[in-house]
Copies of this chain bind each other. A is one copy, B any other.
Amino acid sequence: MAIKGTGRSPRGPYAKTAERRRQIAQAALEVFGARGYRGGTVQEVADRVGMSQTSVLHHFPTKAALLVAALEHRDAIADESPGTGDRFAESVVRQAEHNEGAPGLIELYAVLCGESTTEGHPARTYFEERFERLRSEYAEELRHLAEAGRLRPGVDPETAGTTLLALWDGIQVQWLFAPAEIDMAATLKAYLDLIMLPAPAAPAPAAPADAP
């Protein structure tokens, strides 16, 4: 039998194709980050990879598909699942510091986030789902911290989660306009310090030590 694996007769992609697609996605990330989706062009992406516009559209059939590829590529690079428990605040701050070193990621995020609120924008559902997912992830993490007594009394985990997400997005935009004046990580840390209580210095002793 000449059939190998499933009986699909068409040949698969060539060896270098995966790498080519990654190059295109990276270029799309940079172009849409610098010019927006509506402002960027397929030609510009092609130029950056050094190939023809037609070839780019061979790998990603439409401009919208190119945007989706750019967003997925960004996810693969930027998004790190937040630490839990004690490490939650720490990991949020660390990721903010890390992103500061890759401005292209922040640009893409900020530009498309605003642009995608417009009618019929291909990234709309991406951001809708992302916001809902992150809100519930943050809220759950903060709920655990509250149960552990690490949250300042009166702080609502859902509200604080929404606030943290909004603050993060907002501070990125301000940073893009004035990178010298804005310290993203410090601002996030200040908010987290506000809603969180310091860990007990040591495992709380069952009974206070007697004074001699």
Interface residues of A (CB under 8 A from B): 34-36, 38-39, 107, 110-115, 117-119, 127-128, 131-132, 135, 152, 155-156, 159-160, 162-163, 165-171, 173-174, 176-178, 181-182, 186-187, 190-191, 194-195
Name the distance in Å between A118's Cβ and chain B's nearest Cβ.
Answer: 5
Task: Determine which of B114, B119, B169 lies in contact with A35 in the assembled complex, contact meaning CB atoms within 8 Å.
Answer: B119
* Most B Cβ at <10 Å: residue of A110, A156, A170, A182: A170
Q: List 29 contacting pairs A-B, 8 Å CB cutoff, sorted by A.
A: A35-B118, A36-B36, A36-B118, A38-B38, A38-B39, A110-B117, A111-B114, A111-B118, A112-B114, A113-B173, A114-B114, A114-B173, A127-B177, A128-B178, A131-B178, A159-B187, A160-B190, A162-B171, A162-B187, A163-B171, A166-B167, A166-B170, A166-B171, A166-B173, A166-B187, A168-B170, A169-B173, A194-B194, A194-B195
